Amino acid sequence: MAETNRPLPPDPAADTPLCKRLGWMALIWGASVGVIGIVAYLIRWWING
């Protein structure tokens, strides 16, 4: 097969400000920590009765 040298599509994150990207990352991280905490609490409640 012949390899074509097509230009890469533009990166939509390149136009987004860094503070907005970091804010989304912090929001997703916080939500995941919260969900893990809730699951751990439910498992602890279920085991201890």
Q: pLDDT of 1-49, one tens digit each?
A: 567 788 888 877 778 899 999 999 999 999 999 999 999 999 999 999 8
The pLDDT, as a whole number, for residue 1 is 58
Residues 6+ apart with CB under 8 A from 21: 13
The full DSSP string for 1-49 is: -PPP-PPPPP-GGGGS-HHHHHHHHHHHHHHHHHHHHHHHHHHHHHHH-
Residue 31: its pLDDT value, please? Answer: 98
Tokens of residue 27, six digits: 């929001």
3 burial level (CB within 10 Å; 0-12, 13-18, 19+): exposed
Query: What is the pTM assigned to this prediction?
Result: 0.65
In this predicted structure, what is the pLDDT of residue 9? 80
